[in-house]
Structures are given as structure tokens and as C-alpha cells.
């Protein structure tokens, strides 16, 4: 099963989660930075993970272009899972939830969504989050 892990990251936390998912989901997984994603890359992909830090209660500024590329690739029903990194606070918002909604709007089938927790505004990731990402990613791939 061909998988694409699309992410953006400023301080490296979301990158670590994306790399963990790639590592856990096998040789057919490819890591792509959001600003390098092309419609061509999405052809023949069976499952895409899409992740961003939560910034101001949303996905990162500029990350919205990912949804335009997915729309232009014309891959209706593409299975996707959204993830984000962010704070565990009542006011934190839900970047993964925002990503999920946008994925549905461009015709994707959302099969999973997960937040990964950082301890401060620029990280680091909470202990155990990289391992949790590996389990989440590999578990989802077994189910789809």
C-alpha cells in the first residue's frame, strides 16, 4: 500500500512525528514537505497522512495550499488521516480537526485524526509521543 506523509514544521516537532509515521508504516511510505507536494505525487497513493502544528487554533499559515493540490489531483475518496502537534491546554484548538474538515471538503475520506502534545510553544514533544505516533500510524494502516 503506497502511503504519503505530508507535513509542515517550523521547530521540528511535527517533523519528528511525520518521520515516526514513515518509519512505522513501511517501505512504501514517502515523506513530503507540504510546500513540495504536487498533484502528480498523489496519483497511485492509497493513503495520505496530513499533518501540521496547530498555530492560532488552526493549521499553520500557508498549509492550506495542500488542500488545493489535493483537489487539483482529482483523487476522490482518497483515504487520509490528519495529525497535528500542539499544546494540551483548554484553549489549544484542534489543528488536526481543521485539517480533517478541509480534507473532507476536497473529497477525501478521513479515516483518522490525532493530536500529539508538545510541552511549550516551540516544543519539545512530550515523552512518548514519537512512540505513540508509530503505533497510531501503523495501526491505521492495518485497518484501512
Ligand X SMILES: Cc1cc2nc3c(=O)[nH]c(=O)nc-3n(C[C@H](O)[C@H](O)[C@H](O)COP(=O)(O)O)c2cc1C
Binding residues for ligand X, rule: CB under 6 A, are 9-15, 53-57, 85-87, 92-93, 118, 121-123
Using the minimum distance from each CB to ligand X, give the nearer residue, 56 or 142.
Answer: 56
Q: What is the 3-state secondary structure (H, E, C) of the chain?
A: CCEEEEECCCCCHHHHHHHHHHHHCCCCEEEEEHHHCCHHHHCCCCEEEEEEECECCECCCCCCHHHHHHHHHCCCCCEEEEEEEEECCCCCCCHHHHHHHHHHHCCCEEEEEEEEEECCECECECCCHHHHHHHHHHHHHHHC
In angstroms, give the least distance from the CB of 116 to ligand X.
8
In angstroms, give the least distance from the CB of 45 to ligand X.
23
In angstroms, give the least distance from the CB of 69 to ligand X.
20
Using the minimum distance from each CB to ligand X, give the nearer residue, 29 or 54.
Answer: 54
In angstroms, give the least distance from the CB of 63 to ligand X.
11
In angstroms, give the least distance from the CB of 90 to ligand X.
10
C-alpha cell at 48: 495520505
Using the minimum distance from each CB to ligand X, give the nearer residue, 5 or 78.
Answer: 5
Using the minimum distance from each CB to ligand X, give the nearer residue, 57 or 131.
Answer: 57
Using the minimum distance from each CB to ligand X, give the nearer residue, 33 or 43.
Answer: 33
Q: How many CB atoms lie within 10 A of CB 135?
A: 11
Amino acid at each position: 500500500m503506497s502511503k504519503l506523509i505530508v507535513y509542515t514544521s517550523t521547530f521540528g516537532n511535527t517533523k519528528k512525528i511525520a518521520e515516526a509515521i514513515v518509519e512505522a508504516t513501511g517501505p512504501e511510505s514517502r515523506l513530503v514537505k507540504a510546500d513540495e507536494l504536487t498533484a502528480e505525487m498523489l496519483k497511485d497513493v492509497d493513503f495520505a497522512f496530513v499533518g501540521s502544528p496547530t498555530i492560532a487554533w488552526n493549521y499553520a499559515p500557508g498549509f492550506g495550499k495542500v488542500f488545493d493540490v489535493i483537489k487539483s489531483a482529482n483523487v476522490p475518496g482518497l483515504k487520509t488521516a490528519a495529525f497535528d502537534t500542539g499544546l494540551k491546554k483548554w484553549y489549544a484548538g484542534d489543528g488536526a480537526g481543521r485539517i480533517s474538515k478541509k480534507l473532507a471538503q476536497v473529497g477525501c475520506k478521513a479515516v483518522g485524526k490525532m493530536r500529539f502534545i508538545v510541552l511549550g510553544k516551540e516544543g519539545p514533544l512530550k515523552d512518548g509521543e514519537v512512540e505513540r505516533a508509530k503505533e497510531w500510524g501503523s495501526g491505521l494502516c492495518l485497518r484501512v
